[in-house]
Structure 1
C-alpha cells in the first residue's frame, strides 16, 4: 500500500525509537511508503522563555550532536541511514551511552562505513545545525509540532506513542500493519482527535 508521510525524531525519546524501528523494518521489507525523516530538537522545544535557544548554544544540549549527525547521514549517505539511525537510537537506549559524546557518535558512524570526520566537520561548521533548525522550525510553524514522534501527512499531524519495538530482523508484518494503521488513522479519520489509554496493561 502506498503511503506518503513525514515522521519526526530526536534520539533521546524511547517512543521515537519504537516508531522509527517499525518504519525501518517495514521499509527494509519493501513497504511501498514514501517517508521523510525530519529532525526535531526536544531541547529546543523545552527552552524556557528568556533562555538561550539550542541553536545559539548547541554544546549545552545533550541530544543535538547526534541529531545533526543523523541529518548529515540522511542527506549525504542515504544508503546507510537506516543502519546508522538504528545505531544512534541504540547508543542511547540499549547501550546507555551519551549522545553528546563525539567519540561515541563517531564510532557509530564508523561502524557503518560513514566517514565520521566529514560528518563532524559538517557539524563543526554549523552547516548541520542549520539543516536541523530549518526543518524543526518548518514543522513547528506549519503543523504546530511539539514532540516526537509526530507523523505528518498533508495538513495533518499526530503525536504517537507505540509501546512495542521492532529490532533489526523482526518479522515485518507487524511493523507494516502498525505503521499503516497509524497513517490511515491520520489521513482517513479526521474526526478522531484524542484516543488515550488511562493505563497500559503490561
Structure 2
C-alpha cells in the first residue's frame, strides 16, 4: 500500500537537507511513497514581533529566493524537481554558497535544464511568494508547524532530525523514512524522544 506523507523544507536547514536526501533517495529507488513537498520559511518563523514579515520584505530574507525557485520547479517542471531540489541543498551545505544570490540559483537551474528566466519571471511577479505564503500559513494553522523538516500525515505532524545524510545504500534511506512515518502514524503516544548527547 502506498505510503502518503508531506514534508516541509527550507534550503538553509542541514536537517532538512538530510531528510530530503533520504526521501529523494528512496523515491529514486522505487519506494512506494506519495510525497508532497511543502515550502516553509524559517525566516518568517523567526520574525520578531513588530518587524516586517518575509512576505512584506522578501529581499531581507536569505532563503526565500531559493524557496520560491524550488516551488516553481516543483509545480511547473516537476520532472526536474528532485534533481534541482537536491542541488539547491548541495549549493548551500556542500558548497557554502549564498542562496539569496540570483546567480547561484540560476546556475543550479541551468545545470538541470530549467529555464531560469522563466523561473525568475514567476518570482518577480509576486505570484510565487503568495503561493509560498499560502502553503506556509496553511500548515502553521492546521498542524502548528514551526520548523523543518516536519513530516505530516493526516492530522498528525512531527518535527524530525535525522543525523545522517543519504548514502549509496538506498535501503538505508527507505528504512529511515519509513520508520519516521511509522512512528508518526502508528504510535501517537510517543511525543518526544531525544538523545541527551550525540555519540561522535
Q: What is the Cα deviation at residue 171 of structure 1?
A: 1.3
Q: What is the Cα deviation at residue 91 of structure 1?
A: 0.7
Aligned match of 1:161: 161
Q: Kindly indicate whether residue 186 of structure 2 is the aligned counterpart of residue 188 of structure 1.
A: yes
Aligned match of 2:116: 116
Runs of 4+ in 1 over 4 A off after TM superposition: none
Aligned match of 1:200: 198
Query: Residues of 1 paired with 2:50 and 2:144: CA distance?
Result: 20
Query: Residues of 2 paired with 1:122 and 1:93: CA distance?
Result: 26
**Cα deviations across residues 91-131 of structure 1 (Å, max 9, x unaligned)?**
10000000000011001000000000000000000011011
Query: Residues of 1 paired with 2:159 and 2:62: CA distance?
Result: 22
Query: What TM-score results when the alignment is normalised by the length of structure 2?
Result: 0.99
Aligned match of 1:26: 26
Root-mean-square deviation (CA, aligned residues, Å) is: 0.7
**Cα deviations across residues 81-100 of structure 1 (Å, max 9, x unaligned)?**
00000110011000000000
- Gaps spanning 5+ residues in structure 2: where? none
Query: What TM-score results when the alignment is normalised by the length of structure 1?
Result: 0.98
Query: Residues of 2 paired with 1:138 and 1:23: CA distance?
Result: 22
